[in-house]
Amino acid sequence: WYQRRVRGFEEECLHLAACGKNQMLPQNPEMPADLYTSCLTTTVKTALHYWFHQQKITNIHIIDCIEYLDNIPGKYSARSTMAGELDWVLTAVLDTLAWQIEPDYARFKELFRNCKPVGLLFRGHILADRVMRAYNVTPVTHPHLPSLAGHPLWRSWDLALDSIMTELSLRKVRPTRPALHGRSARSSSTS
């Protein structure tokens, strides 16, 4: 009776774990302290941190990186803004990957659609699988979800980030011209 009861309970439960047994959680001062939880709860920001770290941008200190990420224009909830566009693209990539993982619609619906918080956590787990594997750590789920860390669709996300970060850096880096001989740069070019 006990074994049947436990087996039935396991089948009804969903489990998310940062790593398999005998693995150590990654510790990188340039990434969030609890990297797995960050992937689950602040998906876009963690994906951006990971992108910066993977780019090996040497001229941007981690403090500058965090400031840079905190200053992306707009709200993540407003798609018409840069931050909203990032959120929208990442959600589309994660949803498509989720469908790749679970083509059985009933299971897909159970994990990614029936309950919004559960869906957000499992989408975050898909990101965590990509991020944590870069540190040789394998996140674990029940029911088991196969890894899509190397799926070509991640390239779409990387390209979207490349594009948006280039645009953002051009906005930030572009110097404003000082006044020339008491006139603005605009008036000196028109005279």
What does the alpha-carbon distance between residue 20 and residue 123 come to, in Å, rounded to a whole number?
A: 19
Q: What is the pLDDT of residue 110?
A: 87
Q: What is each CA distance from 34 to 15, 40, 100, 125, 132, in whole angstroms? A: 18, 10, 27, 13, 11
SS3 141: strand
Mean pLDDT: which of 21-30, 32-41, 45-54, 96-105 is highest?
32-41
pLDDT digits (tens, 9 = 90+) for 113-165: 889 999 999 999 999 999 999 999 999 998 888 999 999 999 999 988 888 77
What is the pTM assigned to this prediction? 0.77
pLDDT digits (tens, 9 = 90+) for 29-44: 878 889 999 999 999 9
Cis link prior to 26 (omega < 30° from 0)? Answer: no
* Residues in Cβ contact with 176 at an 8 Å cutoff, skipping those fewer than 6 apart: none
